[in-house]
Structure 1
Amino acid sequence: MEKQTYVSLVLETPAAAPEHIQRHYRNKLAMETDVADVRSDLEHGVKDFLLVDVRSEKAYEECHITGAVSLPAARINAESTAEFSKDRLIVVYCWGPACNGGTKGAARLAELGFQVKEMLGGIEYWRKEGGSVEGTLGKIAPLIG
């Protein structure tokens, strides 16, 4: 019986050239941000972006990031965004890593001509990292919709 040779699952596909890797990660950073960066900016008074909660109105009412505005992803259209400036970055968030509401919201806003980034981790990681929240239930609000 021949011994089978193990083939590395990591190495079976060669890595891209460094310039392609750099471009990939720069592009990723151009479309995403994280809880720590958003929180740091807000704590330092940065007001150059609009933070938008794309979850349901009920979820927003119960608990949302302090200072965020509510605009459920399904309601994003030209009329609902008429007062938003296209010169100001919009940062969207939803429930957490398993939620694609932020992705849907970002795609809809981009289709309307807005600059947008998705905040990875959503309100779940915002709360895990001790970020400030407000709403009728605040910190005791459920983390599911």
Structure 2
Amino acid sequence: MTPTSALSAAAAGTTTDNPVLRVPPAAPADAAAHFAASLAFHTDVADVAGALAAGGEPGFVLVDSRSIEAWDQGHIPGAVHLPTARIPHEAPALLDPAVPVVVHCWGPGCNGATRAALALAGLGYRVKEMLGGMEYWIREGFAYETAAGSERQPADPLAAPVAAGDCGC
């Protein structure tokens, strides 16, 4: 099969030997709806860092849903500490329901932020999950606070551009 005929077969929805195209891509309108919905539920570390660094009110409150031990190990400056188990009891005193919430936990291998986002949404908050969590905050070279003060590690070249201000996405 030539590259042109493979593309034609994939576009027509026929089976190919290509594992990427065995299930054909969604129709453009379906894909647009899916990706718009994804962006309504998620943000990323670089966008949160940019919004916080811009000065003034970022338009959201950043909530760290990790344990006190994890918070003490390091946390994002300006974040509100609200462990998931305490959300039902403490969110009303700490968070304004009119202000969107961005929640994070450890990293992509942890679904703690998803559980925290679910708990907050169940209480009526508009919420997004910060993809990458604390792990990628640190890996992308952003400052964080510990009991010893402010710290920052160099950007991991496999996670963030080292020489540029942002990834351009």
Q: Give the TM-score normalised by structure 2.
A: 0.75
What residue in structure 2 maps to residue 119 of structure 1? 130
8 Å contact from structure 1 (residues 127, 139) kept in 2: no
Say whether residues 1:102 and 2:113 are aligned partners. yes
- Measure the CA separation in 2 of the matches of 1:65 and 1:80: 20
Letter in 1 for 2:32: Q
1:139, distance to aligned residue in structure 2 (A): 4.2
Q: Which runs of 5 or more structure 2 residues have no equivalent in the other structure?
A: 1-15, 153-169
Percent identity over the alignment is 46
User: How many residues were matched structurally?
Assistant: 134
Relative contact order: is structure 1 or structure 2 higher (C-alpha 8 Å, sep ≥ 6)?
Answer: 1
CA positional deviation for 1:67: 0.6
Give the structure 2 partner of residue 128 of structure 1: 139
What is the match of residue 34 of structure 2?
A: 24
C-alpha contact (below 8 Å) 1:54/1:101 kept by paired residues: yes
Q: Deviation string for 1:40-68 (max 9, x for gaps)?
A: 00010243110000000111122100010
Q: Larger Cα Rg: Structure 1 or Structure 2?
A: 2
The 2-side partners of 1:124 and 1:139 are apart by 14
What is aligned with 1:60?
71
Query: Unpaired segments of 5 or more residues in structure 1?
Result: 1-5, 141-145
Q: Post-superposition, which runs of at least 4 consecutive aligned residues in structure 1 deviate over 6 A?
A: none
Alignment map for 1:47-86 (pairs within 5 Å): 47-77=58-88, 79-83=89-93, 84-86=95-97
Aligned-residue offset at 1:11: 1.1
Partner of 2:48: 38
